[in-house]
Amino acid sequence: PNIDDIGDWLECKNTHIFSFGKAFRPVTLYLKFNVEHFYSNNEYLFDKNLPEKLFDTLKKYYRGRPALVFCGTRKGVVSAATQLQQDCGNLFIKSNNQRQILLDASQDIENSALKSSIKRGVGFHHAGLSVGDRRRVENLFIDSTLQVIVCTTTLAMGVNLPAHLVIV
């Protein structure tokens, strides 16, 4: 909706600004806005309560396909991933083979919270992790071994991941 503003900011001529609608997407995009489920007048309470409400939303739309959950801070990422891996049971583990791959991969993880979370099929990604941990999380997700990544926007910087569900 703000393509003209971005064009002005980039100092582009109108003839060089192109808008591509839904017809150009290879996969249909569905947008759902569940603000009332998370709504709070208090920003602190919103951030604090988000991890507890995340699992219900994820469970409702997950359908067994890879999902990304974006949070605003590193602390929020770890908090949401920790709560999610506690709530999920075995929802994100589809086979014994997948469980074994995640268990093996967790042995190489440096961050202790991530190590624990990976074993349940939930990873997280933020700039505070080592490069090796971030790459392992990305690769497990690309291979469809890891089903959910809770992340900051650092994951969106130059990494193309096959997510079917994105929660912001």
pLDDT in tens, 95-135: 999 999 999 999 999 999 999 999 999 999 999 999 999 99
Cα 130 to Cα 52, 81, 110, 123, 125: the distances in Å are 27, 17, 8, 14, 10
pTM, 2 dp: 0.76
